[in-house]
Amino acid sequence: MERVRTKYGLEIVTYFPDRQAVETLLRQKGLYSFRESIDNRKECCRIRKVEPLGRALGPLNAWVTGLRREQSVTRTDVPKVAEDADHPPMVKINPIADWSEQQVKDYIALHKVPVNPLHAKNYPSIGCAPCTRPIEPGEDIRAGRWWWENPEHKECGLHRRP
């Protein structure tokens, strides 16, 4: 985040999950309840990711994501621009939806875009620490996310299928 702030001269506003909601979840269900069921995992994602994003998007009319169709079976039909069903009438813009992984790498190299150093350690898809692991050679790029679940369930709630 600091490298992005410095390179582009941006003010980056950060949002955090509601402390009380996290504490209540951990007290009631334990530290790793998200591995017990998809519903528990989505509850954790809702508290830690979806709700803070909702607050961040509140005053906006549109937002831009890095979703790409080839990333997973849950993203094959991602449109470039559409109304965000979770935040109507907000527009969700996915400018690199049709890019390949190689196109992303080429763009990063050409424009010297700062990237998370975990990418160089076999983390092509990065989420929360306990829900993300490095991938093994030959694995799908999202295999390190929620590796205990089937691919069709590997979304946190930030990006639901249209």
- Residues catalogued as catalytic: 156
The closest of 53, 69, 145, 133 to 103, measured between CA atoms, is 69
Quote the CA–CA distance of 73 and 113 in Å, as a whole number: 27
Evaluate whether 98 touches 66 at the Cβ level (below 8 Å): no
Q: Classify residue 140 as left (phi > 0), alpha (psi -120 to 50) or beta.
A: beta
User: How many DSSP H helices and E strands does the chain contain?
Assistant: 5, 3
